[in-house]
Every structure is written in structure tokens, then in C-alpha cells.
Structure 1
């Protein structure tokens, strides 16, 4: 801290945060969650716990004249034995909606994640400080987007002028659920995950329930979404069900219906867009599960491969092609009684030709350039005039 700055410390409350579903107050800081406590209690899965606590789409939103902002945080750094080191999580600053800086926080806790067994024990560390200075000396909206892929406890907020919550601008709330691609895996930063980009282009407020490895039609996720305020809803379904080899077609169809039934209990007429899988060659016709490619790991690269047998589709095993066809059938069936239900074929966001130009580096996840392409296309197809979410986004 600069000793010559007249710092004002402001409590970190829900009014100053957007995109979080719940805040957990701990003795080491405030931990934003993207699933409520009752939902987390229903599934003691390490992957889900890690994903929902990573604050994708969560941001501090302040109205202030401050020219300097300091944020003490306690990040959770992940170490994957045998895999390349992970870069520190990126924080991004927006001033009146425009990019104005980036930063990282050193220190924090460390967890070692076994590539086959999930997260292990946590080694405690100390908080670090994020600092932005030289902000314009006027009333302005300041947003600090937290790292989309790094669990972050908020310890203290200091500014050189008072802060207040950003006033309601009347923008529609877009609630989205999906897999690690929606979570933002391999995006350059929190404002450039494809949902964050699409929300910015569409002029909507994002609540991102993209949960890496955990878009599995879980009933508690559907109930969470049912109970959250939303003007627009989208659900991206497919890749995690294939790469986890979680269910067969017999279970998939009623699970989709059940998920949608639950959403409609709380949002009976809200525009609801179902997004089928993006193009992913390894699982187009080959079922899961996915596995880490040992040759890639030996070369210091993280890659995935499909381990199923295409012949197993006859027994009901899921592939991306099977899921696309069944989602199209389900939406067509339901739309007869639900005019606010729509389908977007994920290949319109990222298809075979896109893969030829921008292949998935690890076989599953898009890189930063592809996140931008997907976000721009989603905004054009969903939020623009004539799109299924256009009337409510305007």
C-alpha cells in the first residue's frame, strides 16, 4: 500500500458484486460461488466444487471518482503434476465499459490436482494485492473482472475516494449454463470468454453458470437457474455428457425434458435458447469417455483423446451427433406448446470449416481467437434483430 494515499476501505458485499450466486464469508476472505450452498451439498464432487468456485463472469462493479484501487485477494493456484505450469489468473479492469488494465496476484493457496483423481490437499499461502492507478478523476463505472479460471477469495477493497454500487442501467440479465467452453477454458481473460464477449456485444448483464466438466443436466443446477432472476436464458448441452460417458440415450432424453421443465417452473415465458454441441472431431461419432493423451503429456502438452467405440452407439452411447439430433427433436416437440423455446445448432458457432482454420489445441477446448469468434457469432445469432433473444435484449 502507498502510505501517502488516503485509502478508504469498503466492505465487500453482494451489492458490489455481479455474476455471483452466493457469497461465503470465511475467516480468510469473501468467496464468491456460482452455485448456492444447498446445491453444493447435493454433489460432493471435487471437479464441480473447483469449477463453481472459479468466478467466471464475476466482477466488482463500482461507481466512484477514485483514481486508485487496491484489491487484496487470496487466489487458489492449481498445479498439475506432469503437465505444463498454469499461468496466474488474469484480472481485468473496465472503466465505463472500456478495457483499462490487467493484472495478476502472486501468492495465495496452492492445490495439487491429480489428472486422474481430481483435486488434492490445499497448501495455505498469503494474500496478494492487485493495484490499478491513474484512473480518470471523475464519476465513472469501474469493473474489476475476477479470473475466470482461478478460485479467488476477496480480502479487502481500498480506494482513494468513496465507492457505491453501480446503478441499475436497465439492462436485461442473461443467465447461461454450459461446460468448460462456456466457463472460459483457454480464453485470454475473464472479459474475453465467449459468453462475456457475447454479453458485451449484446448489451446484457451476464450471469455465467458455465461449469467446467459439470454441464451434466444436474437437477440442482436446473433448480438454481429456476430460482435466479433472468430475462434471457440459454443452456448449452452435450460435450460433458459425452466426455464423461455419464448416461445413455434412454436417460438423456428424459433428463433434458426434466431440466427444461424445472426451468419453466420459474421462467414460464422467458426466452430460452438451447445450444447443441460445437464441432469437436474426436467425439462427433465416437463416444466417450475422454482421456488424457499420454504421448501429449510426455511431450509437455495437455491433449485429450476419445476412448469409446463408435459401434457402441447402437447400445445408446452418446456422441455429439446423437445429441444434436435428439436435442433438435426435443425442442421441436416442446416448441409446439412453448413458443419461447428455441434451438441453436452449435456448429453455427464453431463448425467443421472453423476447425480447419482454428483447430482445438487440446482436442476439446477453443483458444482465445476461437472464443472471440464464438462470442461474436452468438451475439449476431441470438441477440441481434431477428434472433431468439433479440426482443428481450433490446
Structure 2
């Protein structure tokens, strides 16, 4: 029986663990202690911090694993790269992983390879004259932690008066002594899922985003297909391929964030793993294959053998969220059985504490729908959401 190490035991790793079990794999799940649903599903659990790459490598060698993988988080990507290099496993390299988890390295590579991206500067928290350092950049600006995920440590800044509070917020969400300031590109935010195997990009699936607007835009749902002109789609694909080359990504899923301005695609960032917020499900439904299975096969050194069934299936998803901090008193799905309601998922149980939505990890569930057309899927999505009742007090 092959052994797969899955880093993380949270809600976005649960489908990966379940798929691995269904494939007959021995699942070793690693995460810090906590109330994480993936622990109960694993064959074996290690309660370790997934950013401790030396400790994880020690465990991986002791267990003689055949592959290592995660989904939905950037936190442990560098650990995956370290283990893959040290043990000769399939997956992104340690060098590529370092670029993928440091937005400053990433942006520097984009600039070097001619990938279209927002103008930026690296700034030390101790910089005595930030105004001079960022001279030439125009408001509005984005202050961004270079090593966080889930939209944490990212905030929009419209004036010099906001610098101190913005820097403090970023500082609370980084382990580095520097951060990134970049121009805020005013445009339409969208994304793409992609996969690179043996140096070849297997597919690129642009998708639309539903966005929660707080301090910065936080994706709270997605839909495909995305209505873009062929010229724009080809430009987005060209920028993504350029970014993949710049970052040296290989044998991994890719989560891409873009901004469309004046019919040109600007790359915000690429992650060397599958996206969160139902994006693996979006890809699976749209193309007609089990995306989690493809991710696992690649991590095991097997050919994922991508095939694409037409017609492609439009689908849409949205997080369930709370508008206040509190305790879940009840949650009920009043939807009638419907083959096009792909999934209604509750992350918590009555009695659990939840937070007012601010960033992705504050989600309390999700809904996924499909349809013959995107309009059908989206209409059903919001109808289904109206029939889900969650009481938080």
C-alpha cells in the first residue's frame, strides 16, 4: 500500500484525505493540534507544525512515504518542496516552493521574466523613510505580507495617514522583517486553476470570483466558465504560462489570481497548489474528472492522464458566512433534493463558536451548484443559499 503524507487537517484537506482513502492509499496527516476534521479520517496522525520542514522531513523518511501534498493553503508549500527534493519525490522543487510562498521573490521573478504585474517595492518595517522608498508608486496602494495566505496581512491604503495602522496589521501577519507595497490595480478580479506536469501546462481554467470587500477583496465563491473575449483569455493564459516559467513550477496544481484592466491581465500571484473555496470541485465538475485524484496521482509519481469530457459543465459556489461573532444555535438546509445542487456543506455543529466573516478561514460552510448554463447554475446557487438557515447568537 502506497503512503501519502497530507499536510493540514482542515476543511480544505478533508476531500483530499477522503479521495486518498478511496484510492486505497495509506494516509498520514500532519497538522498542529486543534479541532480539525481531517484527523478522524487519517490512518495515522502526527501533531506537528507543517512549516517545520526539518521535522516533517524526518517523519517522511521514517515513514518512507511515496508522496507529499496539500491543497487550499500556502503555509506548508515550502515543506513540500523540501521533502520532494530530499527524497526524490514528485512535486514542486524547494527552489520553486520558496518563490511560491514569498510574494517578494515571486514579484521579483515576474519583473525579471516580463510577466505583467503591478509596480512594487520591498519595504523594511524599520525603514525610516518609507515615502522615499516607494517614490514613484501611486495611490491607492496595497500593503501585503509576503508570507501569509487566506487574504491575511493584506490591506488597501489610500493615504499616508493610514501607513502606521496598515503596517501594524501586516506585521501581525508575517514572520518576515519586510513587506511588500504595490500599486492597487483598479480592475476586475478573476482567477484561474491550472496544472503543470513534466514541464507542460495541462490546462488553464479561468473562473469568475465572488468577492467580499473588506480591507481588501476576499474571494468567497467562484464560477465557471468566465465570460471573457478570446483575446483576453489568450492573454491571461500567456501571462500564466510566463509566471509558471518564472517561478519554475512543475508537477503541481496552480492557483492564479489576476486583475483585468483595459483588457490586459495583470498577475497578482500564483500558488503552487490547488485553490481553496471550492475550486477543486469547480475544476472537477467543469471538466468531468476527479481533480483531487489527479493531484494525488501526480504526488505519487504517477501519470495523472488528464482527459476532458465535453460538454463542459457550468458550476458556481459560494461560502456560507456569519455576519457576527457568536455560537451556532441551529443550521438547517431547507432545499429539496436536486441533482444540480452538488453540495451543501456545514463546517461546524450547533454549539460551536464562529466569527464574523473577515477572511477566508472565517467561513462556516459552502454551497456548490451546477446547470446546463452558467446562468442556471448561478440562479440555483442563490436560491439554494436563501433556503439555508444558520442561526448565530
Q: Return the TM-score normalized by structure 2.
A: 0.27
Q: Which has the higher contact order (CA 8 A, sep 6+)?
A: 1
Q: Return the TM-score normalized by structure 1.
A: 0.27
